[in-house]
Chain A
Amino acid sequence: MDRVRGLRRVMRAMRFALAVDAASLLALACPVQAQPPAQPLAQPGVKSAVDGIAEYREMLADGNPAELFTAKGEALWKTARGPKAATLERCDLGKGPGIVKGAFVELPRYFADTGRVQDLESRLLTCMQELQGFDAAQIAALPFGKGEQSTVESLVSYVASESAGLPMNLPQSDASERLMYELGQRAFFYRAGPMSFACATCHGAAGRRVRLQVLPDLTRNPGDGLGMAAWPAYRLSTGELWGMQRRLNDCFRQQRFPYPGYTSPVTIALEVYMGVNAKGAASAAPALRR
């Protein structure tokens, strides 16, 4: 019942926010008389489109549709599923079997049982395979949002929500965690492809925008609730809950790179790089995004 009320509140907020947003955009469309090079968005007294969007997000934050995924994920966590008809309640996300609180802000990290540095999504696949008997490789090969992939989306939303407000605090005590950081850094600055883009092309300095979208500087702590401290997030433009894997996948698409495998090493390395850089940033995941 609470969920239904929450959703109604969200729908109301969205309608209101969209109206406000349209008004702020109209206000901005006024003629620009400034001499070149003009920056109409920076005019004093006029609410910028960026402010408008921030406001829009703020109003929505009260009723983030990600809550629905969180609730579903919590139920899935506690439901006996898979060939072994087991729950995930003994899943070790790094802080011991069954401990969910605080796990999100310390991932990716090294896991001795798999001998790998794993992010939240790859670790969930391990638990789904070991505890529930699912085939992790098969799930990894599914398109985003399909079948057990959608289960993972709800699970990441739930796990992230249990660390809301906590500071990012990825461990770097294991050599393989440090190696992944260095590799992630190298991957972040790796320019290639038909447009010679690297992650750093867009995310290597503060205050950059693509169109109206503000891009966090991921070479340092970008601030609370940004980058690793934002994803998983509910995307308004698609009405979907995206985990960090899907976020990175779409970044690589726009970078004009070939296709990164789900939970492939390059994605984990980049998450370690971004997560360690964000040390201390308060997590807002699952956040709300355009």
Chain B
Amino acid sequence: MRRRQGGARLMRRACARAALMAGVLLLVVAGCAGPGNGGANPQADAAFDAAIIWLKAASFRDQGIATVARLQQDQADAACSKAAAGKLPDEEARRIQQESRKSIQLPADGRFLGDWKAGEALAQNGRGMTWADKSSQAEANGGGCYNCHQLSASEIAFGTIGPSLYQYASVHGVADPNAASARTALETAWAKLYDSRASNACSGMPRFGHAGLLNERQLKDLMALLFDPASPVNR
């Protein structure tokens, strides 16, 4: 078993080295253009893709639940990575958003709101999915909301990567989350939590529902934190 793993590693290293050599060769041939130069030179881009393969294979290893398979990008991650210096073309952004909207599953029983207290605990909890975590089950994960967002007024240790969500219900015109008029706001927030790509192709927010980071009950608890009139977010 050990020897086979060693063999696989050697193989991976050999492939990686070959990819790097191909990349460097291509760079020389293509006359070297960086990824930030607008991708005007497809040959140079291909060289960098090869070099990136080398970079990954020669650098990372599995550790606990964090395996090297995580380095595999889906199409949107790949597109957003390359567009980082510039902007994703509108058409491609629209396509990614549409694709993601299709995958959103609304709550099976039609009820959007759970327990805001459980939601607050999830928002405070930034743990989960690292190589130090035992399980990648949703139950083992927090939402990590305060890492990036302001929510309740009493929690001053909030991040600013995302917008403030303080007074979320009133900001989004929801006085009574059980009223029929609240439906659109609820669905929009659910979609954002379930898959942030639905409204923003290159959103920096994790896709909590789509990626299985949180289960339906946990998503409902976060929804309650946002919309429940008793939630500290709305007081």
Residue from A182, A185, A208 within 8 A of B161 (CB atoms): A208
Q: Nearest CB to that of B16 among chain A residues?
A: A265
Q: CA separation between A25 and B70, bound complex, in Å?
A: 39
Q: Are B77 and A36 in contact (CB under 8 A)?
A: no
Q: Assess whether A138 is interfacial by the CB under 8 Å rule.
A: no
Q: CA separation between A29 and B150, bound complex, in Å?
A: 14
Q: Are B166 and A194 in contact (CB under 8 A)?
A: no
Q: Chain B residues near A185 (CB, 8 Å)? A: 34-36
Q: Assess whether B72 is interfacial by the CB under 8 Å rule.
A: yes
Mark each residue of chain B from 178 to 218: 1 if its CB lies under 8 Å from any CB of chain A, else 0. 00000000000000000000000000101100010100000
Residue from B36, B54, B59, B150 within 8 A of A37 (CB atoms): B150
Q: CA separation between A268 and B213, bound complex, in Å?
A: 31
Q: Chain A residues near B168 (CB, 8 Å)? A: 36
- Which residues B2-57 have CB closer than 8 A to chain A? 24, 27, 32, 34-36, 48, 51-52, 54-56
Q: Chain B residues near A189 (CB, 8 Å)? A: 35, 81-82, 84-85
Q: Assess whether B1 is interfacial by the CB under 8 Å rule.
A: no
- Which residues B122-171 have CB closer than 8 A to chain A? 129-132, 136, 146-148, 150, 153-154, 156-161, 163-168, 170-171
Q: Nearest CB to that of A181 among chain B residues?
A: B34
Q: Chain B residues near A49 (CB, 8 Å)? A: 156-157
Q: Assess whether B68 is interfacial by the CB under 8 Å rule.
A: yes
Q: In the complex, how many angstroms separate the beta carbon of A49 from the nearest chain B beta carbon?
A: 6
Residue from B27, B34, B58, B136 within 8 A of A194 (CB atoms): B136
Q: Assess whether A192 is interfacial by the CB under 8 Å rule.
A: yes
Q: Chain B residues near A210 (CB, 8 Å)? A: 147-148, 159, 161
Q: Are B77 and A192 in contact (CB under 8 A)?
A: yes
Q: In the complex, how many angstroms separate the beta carbon of A134 from the nearest chain B beta carbon?
A: 22
Q: CA separation between A259 and B68, bound complex, in Å?
A: 8
Q: CA separation between A37 and B170, bound complex, in Å?
A: 10
Q: Assess whether A187 is interfacial by the CB under 8 Å rule.
A: yes
Q: CA separation between A208 and B70, bound complex, in Å?
A: 26
Q: CA separation between A28 and B156, bound complex, in Å?
A: 8
- Which residues A199-219 have CB closer than 8 A to chain B? 200-202, 204, 207-213
Q: CA separation between A186 and B85, bound complex, in Å?
A: 10
Q: Assess whether B95 is interfacial by the CB under 8 Å rule.
A: no
Q: Chain B residues near A254 (CB, 8 Å)? A: 130
> Considering only CB atoms and an 8 Å cut-off, how many residues of chain A contact the other chain?
54
Q: Are B153 and A38 in contact (CB under 8 A)?
A: yes
Q: In the complex, how many angstroms separate the beta carbon of B119 from the nearest chain A beta carbon?
A: 18
Q: In the complex, how many angstroms separate the beta carbon of B175 from the nearest chain A beta carbon?
A: 14
Q: Assess whether B230 is interfacial by the CB under 8 Å rule.
A: no
Q: Are B63 and A258 in contact (CB under 8 A)?
A: yes
Q: Nearest CB to that of B80 among chain A residues?
A: A191
Which of A31, A204, A213, A256 gathers the greatest number of chain B CB atoms within 10 Å? A256
Q: Assess whether A261 is interfacial by the CB under 8 Å rule.
A: yes
Q: Chain A residues near B85 (CB, 8 Å)? A: 189
Q: Assess whether B105 is interfacial by the CB under 8 Å rule.
A: no
Q: Chain B residues near A253 (CB, 8 Å)? A: 66, 130-132
Q: Chain B residues near A192 (CB, 8 Å)? A: 70-73, 77, 81
Q: Chain B residues near A165 (CB, 8 Å)? A: none
With known contacts A28-B156, A37-B163, A182-B35, A191–B48 Cβ distance under 8 A: no
Q: Chain B residues near A41 (CB, 8 Å)? A: 156
Q: Chain B residues near A266 (CB, 8 Å)? A: 55-56, 59-60
Q: Chain B residues near A200 (CB, 8 Å)? A: 84
Q: CA separation between A115 and B113, bound complex, in Å?
A: 60
Q: Assess whether B67 is interfacial by the CB under 8 Å rule.
A: yes
Q: In the complex, how many angstroms separate the beta carbon of B6 from the nearest chain A beta carbon?
A: 14
Q: Assess whether A142 is interfacial by the CB under 8 Å rule.
A: no
Q: Chain B residues near A196 (CB, 8 Å)? A: 77, 80, 204, 206-207, 211
Q: CA separation between A58 and B48, bound complex, in Å?
A: 42
A-B contact pairs, 21 of them (CB 8 A): A28-B156, A36-B168, A37-B166, A38-B166, A40-B153, A49-B157, A185-B35, A190-B73, A191-B73, A192-B73, A201-B161, A208-B159, A209-B160, A211-B158, A256-B66, A256-B70, A259-B61, A259-B62, A259-B63, A259-B131, A261-B59
A interface, CB within 8 angstroms of B: 25, 28-29, 31-32, 35-41, 49, 178-179, 182-183, 185-187, 189-198, 200-202, 204, 207-213, 253-254, 256-261, 264-267, 269
Task: Taking A37-B165, A211-B158 as given, write out 8 further A-B residue pairs in contact, using a Cβ cutoff of 8 Å, ordered by the A residue number.
Answer: A29-B156, A36-B171, A178-B32, A185-B35, A194-B213, A196-B206, A256-B130, A258-B68
- For the complex of A and B, list the 6 residue pairs with the smallest distance between their C-beta atoms, beginning with the closest: A36-B167, A37-B164, A259-B63, A189-B84, A266-B59, A264-B59
